[in-house]
Amino acid sequence: MYEGRASSDDAFIRNMDMYCTGKVNATLYVPDDKSKPIVFRADTNKDGKVDAWVFDEDRDGRWDYSLWDTDFDGKPDLKGFHPDGKLEPSRYEKYQLKS
For residue 98, pLDDT beyond 80: no
- Cβ atoms of residues 17 and 25 within 8 Å: yes
CA distances to 17, 82, 90, 93, 94 from 21, in Å:
7, 28, 28, 31, 31
Sign of the alpha-carbon torsion through 83, 27, 73, 59: positive
Q: Strands 2-5, 26-31: parallel, antiparallel or unpaired by DSSP?
A: unpaired
Count of beta carbons in the 10 Å neighbourhood of residue 45: 13
For 45-85, the pLDDT digits (tens) are 999 999 999 999 999 999 999 999 999 999 999 999 999 99
> Structure pTM?
0.90
CA distances to 30, 38, 49, 57, 59 from 35, in Å:
11, 10, 27, 8, 9
- Of residues 1 and 8, the one with the higher pLDDT is 8
pLDDT value of position 2: 86
The structural domains of the chain, with segments of one domain joined by +, span: 2-94
Instruction: Taking residues 24-48, report their average pLDDT.
Output: 96
